[in-house]
Amino acid sequence: MTELKRTRNQVRALRRRRQLVRWSTAVAPLVTATLLILAAFWLVDYVFHLDAPQRVVMWGVCSLTIGWIYWRFAKPLLSQHESEVDVALLVEQQHQLDSDLVAAMQFDAAPAVTYGSPDLQTAVVQQAADLSRRINFFEGLSYDQFARRTAALMIVALLAAAACLTFPGHVRVFFDRLLLGAAHYPTQTVLEKMAVNGHMTLTRSTHRTQPEDCTSAQGQPVNLILQCGLPESPGAAASSMTGELRLVSTDGSRRTLPLTRLSADARAAQLDQVAERLQAALDDETIRVDGRWLNASAPTVQFDAPQAWPHLQNAGEDRAAVQQALDEIRRARDAWNDSPPALHLFQGRVDRLMDSVEYQVQIGDAWTDPARIEMIPMPVVTMDLHVIPPAYAAVEPSRQPAASRQVSVLEGSTVQISLGTANDKQLASASIRIAGKSTSSRWDFSPSDEEPGVWRLPAETPLHRVREELAFEVQVRDVDGLQPESPLRGFVRIRTDRPPAATMELVHRVVVPTATPIVGYRVSDDFGISQLLLHLSVQRTHNGSDAEDLGTETTSNSESTREIPLGADWLPVNQLPHRGQFPLDLATLELSKGDQVKLTLEAFDYRGNDAPKSTLSEAIVLDVSDEAGVLAAIAEADESSEERLSEVIKEQLGIGDTQ
């Protein structure tokens, strides 16, 4: 039967409306409470700057609160379920009807045979159909609680929408932080860039407020440069802005350092200082522009002349980069004179970093998240100088201290330099600059294949065969880009190979023409004697016979020389000094009375394949006479010796004339 179709539709519509009102009444306080709790969460987070663990705790508290509100206000309504019969009963109660409406709906829903008299069923259904046309099924439906809760929700929602439109940045950051992000709420002070020892650790577009971790060398200063932006009245705000650098060491100790604002004049002076250094480096290759000098003397160049910074980073190794950096610095300086850059730079400095630290910057109303400066040890470079003397001096014992950087070597020696580290740091590059009196050259070390961790020079450097005094400077860089505090400098001096020494001695210097005097000699040298030569020169005197007849004496002189080799071909150093004797047979010279024989000993040292050097001894002159002359000379010598012996005795006994 279809007489109750309209009645059923009305009951179903009432059931749906009641369910909608009930659900809306249940959800409204839940949404309202959620918005209010989020607002409270934001307020607490904005005031106290909660970190991630604290926000997790707040998450828990808010979740429990929302859960209680759901249990108290929403669950009772959401757990209610009504059927069409239940709604029909409510309509009968509202309009004070008998149970004909429910009975008619039951008769209409089932076959007639199941309920007895068909006529009675038809009458009940017809009566209910007529009744449904006269009554309002939605009469008595209450909207009071729904209206109150919806009104509260609308007010809170409007306030939330106004807050989102007024403070969109804060809302965006809040939801980021709600998801445990690290974003900071917008501040009047804007952190634009930050660099630590030349390394850009923070940029606003990339890092927001979370700087990158960085490294710094042990015992070296740390320079932190911070660039800030101020949306409103930047000049006035910057002049009174203060900031601080907070450090926490690994042992838990804390310290705070002030951030100092850098004036435009100070930054301009740094640009001028860098330009002077670069010009000096172009004029003198020994002046280097390395990262350590830049970090200590010109940390703001990265901000005031950013185009020059890449060239400055390579200036220590690439001389062409020095000129490029100088051009960019001068260009920036010229533009500075027209209009100084409107930058607000602040500097914080740690004089010596002795341990790894966690740092955080706070300036104005802005701050950064904590980041770490990892302390890395400086390379402790060891340098070994091994001197290889020339082959002829190979037996000479080493005279150089093990750790000496100033060595004295023989000309022609080879100086081998090897580098290593004492603290197990790996080297990335090493070079040496060798300067002589008029030349200068640069050479690169290379790692040794046989000895890991050892770096050596190639064989063709000026140190391979030293011919002049040389000064050298060694520059090294480890795998962390660090260099020792100062280059390793040294000096190679030339040690003179002293010429040989030679002396002669003779007992009697007046001899007869046929005598064979014994000539004694003594020679010495640093590394050996290669040859001994006795130079013999005869000065002859000839008497003219015509002069004898006239009773007068006339003479004429003539001179002849010869060289007589003495001893073996060479005398090694272990046989020096050497004493020897040589019997000189004067009979072969055909001498006569009045002639003179001049003897000189020449000693040649040993220098391997190089040309030897020689030394002449003092000359000894032999006077040729007859037997009477020899005896007279001996007697004169004996008398002289006796007088000298008497004087010595008197001096020893204290005997002598007294006044």
Q: How far is it between the farthest Cα atoms of the chain?
A: 209
For residue 219, how far is the Cα from the chain centroid? 12
Task: Give the tokens for residue 413.
Answer: 């020696």
Torsion of CA 225, 231, 234, 239, to 10 degrees: -60
- Average pLDDT (44-69) is 92
Task: Give the tokens for residue 384.
Answer: 């070994």
| 465 neighbors 412 (Cβ within 8 angstroms) | yes
pLDDT above 70 for 551: no
Q: Which residues pair with 534 in a beta bridge?
A: 564, 601
- At 549 the pLDDT is 42
- At 597 the pLDDT is 86
Which amino acid type is present at position 507?
V
Most confident among 262-276, 382-396, 563-577 (mean pLDDT): 262-276
- Average pLDDT (513-523) is 86
Angle at CA 556, nearest 5°, toward 554 and 561? 155
Q: How far apart are the first and last CA of the chain?
A: 180
Q: Is the peptide bond before 577 cis (omega within 30 degrees of 0)?
A: yes
pLDDT confidence tier of residue 318, bands split at 50, 70 and 90: confident
Q: Which residues pair with 387 in a beta bridge?
A: 415
- At 658 the pLDDT is 47
- At 545 the pLDDT is 43
- Tell me the C-alpha distance between 234 and 633, whole Å: 113
- At 588 the pLDDT is 83
- Average pLDDT (417-432) is 89
Question: Residue 357 — φ and ψ, nearest 5°?
Answer: -135, 155
- Tell me the C-alpha distance between 274 and 323, whole Å: 12
Q: Can you give the three-state secondary structure of 200-232, one letter per residue?
A: EEEEHHHHCCCCCCEEEECCCCEEEEEEEECCC
Residue, of 383 and 608, whose pLDDT is higher:
383
257-282 core/surface letters (b: 16 or more CB in 10 A; e: else): bebebbeeeebbebbeebbebbbebe
Residues in the chain: 659
Burial of 352 (0-12, 13-18, 19+ CB in 10 A): exposed
| 368 neighbors 243 (Cβ within 8 angstroms) | no
The dihedral sign for the CA sequence 150, 155, 158, 164: negative
Question: Residue 533 — φ and ψ, nearest 5°?
Answer: -125, 135
- Tell me the C-alpha distance between 589 and 560, whole Å: 10
- At 280 the pLDDT is 87
What does the pLDDT look like over 433-446, one tens digit per residue? 999 888 888 899 99
Q: Are strands 470-478 and 222-229 parallel, antiparallel or unpaired?
A: unpaired
Helix, strand counts (H, E) of the chain: 17, 30
- Tell me the C-alpha distance between 140 and 451, whole Å: 100
pLDDT above 60 for 483: yes
pLDDT confidence tier of residue 432, bands split at 50, 70 and 90: very high
| Helix pair angle (118-134, 100-109), 10° resolution | 120
Helix (H) or strand (E) holding 305: none
Percent above pLDDT 90 for the chain: 27
- Tell me the C-alpha distance between 268 and 301, whole Å: 9
pTM over the 0.75 mark: no
List the one residue out of 276, 266, 324 whose CA is nearest residue 300.
266
Residue, of 611 and 42, whose pLDDT is higher:
42
Q: Lowest-confidence range among 84-98, 126-140, 425-439?
A: 126-140
List the one residue out of 501, 609, 524 whose CA is nearest residue 571.
524
Domains of the chain (ranges, CATH numbers): 5-178 (no CATH), 190-376 (2.60.40.10), 381-495 (2.60.40.10), 501-625 (2.60.40)
51-78 core/surface letters (b: 16 or more CB in 10 A; e: else): eeeebeebeeebeeebeebbeebbeebe
594-632 core/surface letters (b: 16 or more CB in 10 A; e: else): bbbbebbbbbbbbbeeeebebbebeebebbbbeeebbee
pLDDT confidence tier of residue 609, bands split at 50, 70 and 90: confident
Q: Are strands 528-543 and 510-511 parallel, antiparallel or unpaired?
A: unpaired
Contacts of 496 by beta carbon, 8 Å cutoff, 6+ apart: none
Q: Lowest-confidence range among 457-471, 531-545, 577-591, 603-617?
A: 531-545
Most confident among 111-120, 179-188, 499-508 (mean pLDDT): 179-188
Residue indicated by tokens 């179709």: 5
pLDDT above 60 for 408: yes
- Average pLDDT (288-317) is 82
Return contacts of 144-153, CB within 8 angstroms, 24+ apart: 145/25, 146/21, 146/24, 146/25, 146/28, 149/24, 149/25, 149/28, 149/29, 149/32, 150/24, 150/25, 150/28, 152/28, 152/29, 152/32, 153/28, 153/29, 153/31, 153/32
Task: Give the tokens for residue 627.
Answer: 């037997």
Contacts of 315 by beta carbon, 8 Å cutoff, 6+ apart: 278, 281, 289, 290, 321, 322, 325
pLDDT above 90 for 226: yes
- Tell me the C-alpha distance between 546 and 561, whole Å: 29
| 96 neighbors 2 (Cβ within 8 angstroms) | no
- Average pLDDT (582-592) is 84
SS3 61: helix
Contacts of 612 by beta carbon, 8 Å cutoff, 6+ apart: 530, 531, 604, 605, 606
- At 632 the pLDDT is 75
Task: Give the tokens for residue 170.
Answer: 């804060």
- Tell me the C-alpha distance between 22 and 75, whole Å: 11
Which amino acid type is present at position 438?
S
List the one residue out of 197, 361, 158 whose CA is nearest residue 294.
197
- At 125 the pLDDT is 62
Q: Which residues pair with 290 in a beta bridge?
A: none
Contacts of 439 by beta carbon, 8 Å cutoff, 6+ apart: 462
- Average pLDDT (59-67) is 94
- At 349 the pLDDT is 93
- Tell me the C-alpha distance between 223 and 345, whole Å: 12
Contacts of 139 by beta carbon, 8 Å cutoff, 6+ apart: 94, 95
